[in-house]
Amino acid sequence: MDSVGLRDRVRERYARGERLVAPLLGFPGVTQSGTNIKVAQQNHGVHYRVIKTLYDSYRPDIVFPLMDLSVEANALGRYTIFPREDSATIPKAPFDIEELEELRRIDILLDGRIAGNVETLKLMSHGLPEEALKCAYVTGPFTLAGLIMGSDEAVLGTLTEPQLLHRLLAFATERIVQYAHALISAGAEGICVLEPTAVMLGPDAFAEFSGSYVRRLIETYRFKRVATVYHVCGNSMHLLREMVRAGVDALSLDSPETGVDLLEAAARVPEEVLIIGNVSPTHVMLDASPEEVERVVCRDLAAMRGVMNYVLSTGCDLPQETPAQNIERFMLAGRRCGVNLAA
């Protein structure tokens, strides 16, 4: 499924009064599969079982693996903590730009977790039906640089040491490209670039230190029939124009509580770029009743009724404790309310 095919599918559904419904599922499947996050992130067979359980239960139109911002940095030797019931994290550690030559000698495709995620995509490609769009995550260049050198240092570096930061960003992008191509070869039909750290930048700095490198990434697989999603956590309203200019096919936007106004975003984003979002993973999906979930979903669909390039989703990945009945109601309401029904 390439970017044109994805847009065509969105338009076809819209013409029938329907929407693509694609919550960012992942961690709730860990509980439903009877495992834990640590095992699922380190065993590709268990990881696939988690994703297959979610797909069989809810039938989302786009299928994502577990969201993981640590995998590339871990493959590059950064110290990583693996809690049993939480996603792996990269603690802040000292970094000197002279270490870059040492990092260049690491082949991340030989890393166990990288290889495991590639194997998970192979299983998704072969085990899930054709109508399900299989999407993979990669860490964005600026966020990966922040995981290597420290996020505060990366932001400060845009002002104090931009040339050194560009060296690290160019290297990070090279490694992300390697990983993305391996995922695409394994069957990924979409690549979602996770760039949460870049929300701290202003528009000009975002364009220079994130958008330009995401464009480089996209250009390496432009002819491989793969759609690209740009996901920036938090209030990204000030970054929408630069996110679009990176050349992506879709923007994944965070929940209203962060300050994102989905209808206003739709007015700023060209119709050929999809808008994905943005029901709150915590305030609604985790904490609300199933009836409230349905009310919010149908309200949002009614508000976005005239927006053809909209995909119903959540603002970010769902917490592991998200009630199954809330996910079920999200999917049912998304199918029932579609385009034509009011809240």
Residues 272-291, mean pLDDT to the nearest whole number: 97
List, in order of start, the domains of the chain with CATH numbers.
Answer: 3-337 (3.20.20.210)
Residues 79-84, mean pLDDT to the nearest whole number: 96
What pLDDT band is residue 222 in, cutting at 50, 70 and 90?
Answer: confident
pLDDT of residue 340: 61
What pLDDT band is residue 342 in, cutting at 50, 70 and 90?
Answer: very low
pLDDT at 341 over 50: no
pLDDT of residue 5: 72
pLDDT at 339 over 90: no
Both tokens assigned to 317:
């990945």
pLDDT at 59 over 90: yes
CA distances in angstroms from 311 to 133, 138, 279, 335, listed in the order given:
13, 20, 11, 12
What's the pTM value of the predicted model, to 2 decimals?
0.95
pLDDT at 223 over 90: no
Share of the chain above pLDDT 70, in %: 97
pLDDT of residue 338: 76
pLDDT of residue 163: 97
Tell whether the torsion through CA atoms of 281, 119, 231 and 312 is positive or negative: negative
Rounded CA separation 99/96 (Å): 6
pLDDT of residue 343: 41
pLDDT at 118 over 50: yes
Coil, strand, or helix at residue 227?
A: strand
Rounded CA separation 153/175 (Å): 21
pLDDT of residue 138: 98
